[in-house]
Amino acid sequence: NVVLSGMSVYRPLLRLTAQGALVDLPASPGGGRMIRAVDTARSIVASNPTNPDRSALPSDAFGVVEFFDGRIVDAGGDIVTSLSGRIGWPALDRGARLNASGIWRGENITMEATTASPLLLMAGGTTPVKASLKSTLVEASFEGTANLSGEAYFDGQASLSSPSLRRTLEWSRTQIAPGAAIGAMSVASRIQGNARRLRLDSAALTLGGNSGRGVLDLTFTDPVPAISGTLAFDKLDLRSFLSAFSPVASGDGSIHDQIDLGFAQQLSLDLRLSAGSATLGAVTLSDIAASTQVKGNLAAFDISDANAFGGEVQAGVRIDAAGGNKTTEMRLMASDVDAFALAKAAGVERLLPQGRATISVILKGTGNDWNTVMGNAEGSVTASLGQGALVGLDLAKFRERWAAGGFFPLSEVAGGTLPLRSFDFKARVTGGVARIEKADALLDQRVMSVVGIVPYFSRALALSGYFAPVSADGTRGDVETPFFIGGAWDAPFVAPAMADYSYE
């Protein structure tokens, strides 16, 4: 029953023993003025949990507690050192304020907190709370109501910001490794929930230079934390945003790099994204709807709808490591797009098509690195082009060089433009080789047809083709100017083919 007006504590030690506990104070020895006050407050809360009678709380004086050079430790060692601060609590039925500073895992921190009724909080009641934490790596704040009994519960406005997401994750030791060196990150939202699940309503998020709003759910009930929800952006850099969660999405490094799904064992992710405008590398998109999923052995990214190259585009990458083998599926569907713009974005430098095109690319392969996946991928590539033109071939020069005999670089007959009535392309991909089954360019009363193989690893060409007249009903005449195309992708050459070569 000692009455104190103030107390100073030097080099106190708080040892945490319960794994993951939000509040882990030593067991009370029982008895004393404070224990009786807490028991009284528990009875008040039990009689009316939603609106306890604060006027019935004990009014004993408490005073000021100062502490210097304290430590907080757990089984792994020091958590916080050089902890000093002040608790001001005039009386048990009044509010309290905490100011403290210390060193948390090598970073200087300062913390402030106020609560309208700390006694109710200690007794398992709900009370208004305001708290903030500041350091060079992270700043966080909360203002709302809290209940620290059981799994604890929070409801209020919260914010979190950091100049470096990577350094913050390393400092927090959350076992979540970021996919790339993302810079500044901030989030402000109303939060509701407990230590097992939090819901962020009207969240304003900035990550990797991308700012959006939406609703997020954070769940900590499974072995790895889970994030799900929807986010809407005005502008979005898909590569930089997704690389914060998944190294697969960064697009950096060599094609021989390993496909690492280790991050899927640290975080479960299910996000729906939308943006008025977006970029994916050098590609600009608008009105985009996309999703990303990361869970266990699976990582997937899909663009379900977007406008690009003047048409509509769908694309996706899915990596499944079930069974120990990494299987990667890739798909691209483009409808009514500008063929010239798409070809330039794909790095095509010769024989550029002009017109509206529809394209489909579907590939599936296995392997631990991208080179192996592409080397054994199987699938199909199809394309069709309406009326337009083929830029990069001077037909008169081609015939002249063909008639002269011998090999000649394709670059020697570049510079012209051929009007196209249509173009149809079909290829099967297997074992690192694209087998072109059909590549027919319908010109004015003439068709140019090409078939052959394009190996992936050697970047070589082995194509044969011909020109032939075409009647109004589509009937082809005799083969004209048969030719062979060989050499490398970036330096093809042409040679006249045998006159009796069969093109079926």
Q: What DSSP string runs through 315-349?
A: EEEEEE-GGG--EEEEEEEEEEEEHHHHHHHTT--
Residue 41 to residue 124: CA distance in whole angstroms: 9
Written as six digits, the tokens of 263 are: 């991050």
Residue 5 to residue 7: CA distance in whole angstroms: 7
- Region 453-471 average pLDDT: 89
- Region 366-384 average pLDDT: 89
Nearest to 484 by CA among 473, 492, 474, 476: 492
Strand-pair partners of 139? 134, 161
Q: Taking the CB of residue 357, how many other CB atoms lie within 10 A of it?
A: 24
Strand-pair partners of 385? 357, 423
Residue 161 zone, left/alpha/beta (φ > 0; ψ -120 to 50; rest) = beta
Q: Within a 13 Å sphere around the CA of 323, how many CA atoms are in the beta-carbon half? A: 7
Three-state DSSP class for residue 137 = coil
Residue 260 to residue 246: CA distance in whole angstroms: 9
Strand-pair partners of 134? 110, 139
Q: What's the confidence (pLDDT) of residue 188?
A: 95
pLDDT at 501 over 50: no
Q: Is the pTM above the cut of 0.75? A: yes
Query: Considering the chain, what is the average pLDDT of its residues?
Result: 86
Residue 376 to residue 456: CA distance in whole angstroms: 10
Written as six digits, the tokens of 91 are: 């009386």
Place of tokens 């195309």: 485
pLDDT digits (tens, 9 = 90+) for 154-203: 999 999 998 887 777 777 766 555 454 456 889 999 999 987 899 999 99
CA angle 434, 435, 440 (to 5 degrees): 115
Question: pLDDT confidence of 252, banded at 50, 70, 90?
Answer: low
Q: What's the confidence (pLDDT) of residue 445?
A: 84
Q: Counting Cβ atoms within 10 Å, is residue 50 exposed (0-12), middle (13-18) or buried (19+)?
A: exposed
